[in-house]
Amino acid sequence: MNCTVYSKDGKELRTIELEESVFGLPINGDLIWYAINNELANKRQGNASTKDRGEVHGSNAKPYKQKGTGRARRGDKKSPVVVGGGVVFGPKPRDFSYSMPKKAKRQAIKTILSLKAQSDTLKIIEDFSIESGKTRDLAGLLGSFNPGTRTVLVLKDDDPKIKQAAANIPWLSYLSYNRLRAHDLFYGRQVLMLETAAKNLNDFYGEKAEEAGE
């Protein structure tokens, strides 16, 4: 499939050939859901913790005698029914992460790329760099591409200057072509991809890479 390459000013320059096996797949909503939930689960800290009655600090003595007071019988101060006592069935630190098959993860990423390409929210931009590393320069450069819209910028490599400039733009996130995240890609209202990154994705996720088992 062909896609238009835009200049930094938002003008059409040329077309680029995108792999059908990467940008032209049918949409699999279940696979996308699976990949996004896997990423969110792996990010959870899982450090919520409560104390049960055996861990609460306090005396084991009864607060008052069993009979003769007219009050309900009571055990120790660590009982769950007492304020400051233990918690019944409360959370404990745990690991929420789980692994997802590599092929399924790759297929989910390709499905999201196909979704963005087919819904015209993917735009290919000529390669650029921000030599100054300043946020102002990057924000001005992206002014022709709906600034303020939740945007994902796909880079051709780990460009430290672009990452430095993008750090203070609240509506912009950046990803390297070989480390894409399903959550960021899917929820981006628009995906801006550098031309070299698009070519690299053709090779990284294309049919030849699948045949090689990468």
Q: Which domain holds residue 73?
A: 50-90
Q: In this structure, is the dihedral angle defined by the CA atoms of residues 106, 112, 116 and 118, taken in order, positive or negative?
A: positive
In-domain check, residue 136: yes
Q: What is the pLDDT of residues 98-154, one digit of tens each?
A: 999 999 999 999 999 999 999 889 999 998 888 888 999 999 888 888 888 899 999
Q: Answer yes or no: is pLDDT of 211 > 80.
A: no
Helix (H, G, I), strand (E, B) or coil at 10: coil
**Does 95 map to a domain?**
no
Helix (H, G, I), strand (E, B) or coil at 23: helix
**How many domains is the chain built from?**
2
Of 194, 191, 136, 185, nearest to 165 by C-alpha is 136
> Residues 64, 146: one domain?
no
Q: Are residues 54 and 7 in the same domain?
A: no
Looking at residues 80-88, what average pLDDT do you find?
91
pLDDT digit string, tens, across residues 15-70 = 889 888 899 999 999 999 999 999 999 999 999 999 999 999 988 888 889 999 99
Residues 16 and 63 in one domain: no
The string of pLDDT tens digits covering residues 177-192 is: 999 999 999 999 999 9
Confidence tier at 209 by pLDDT (50, 70, 90)? low
CATH number at residue 156: 3.40.1370.10
Q: Are 158 and 80 in a shared domain?
A: no
What is the CA 71 to chain-centroid distance, rounded? 55
Q: Is residue 12 part of a domain?
A: yes
The overall longest dimension of the chain from CA atoms, in Å, is 93
Residues 187/150, Cβ–Cβ less than 8 Å: yes
Per-residue confidence (pLDDT) for residue 207, from 0 to 100: 67
In a domain, 40, yes or no: yes
Assess if residue 63 is contained within a domain.
yes
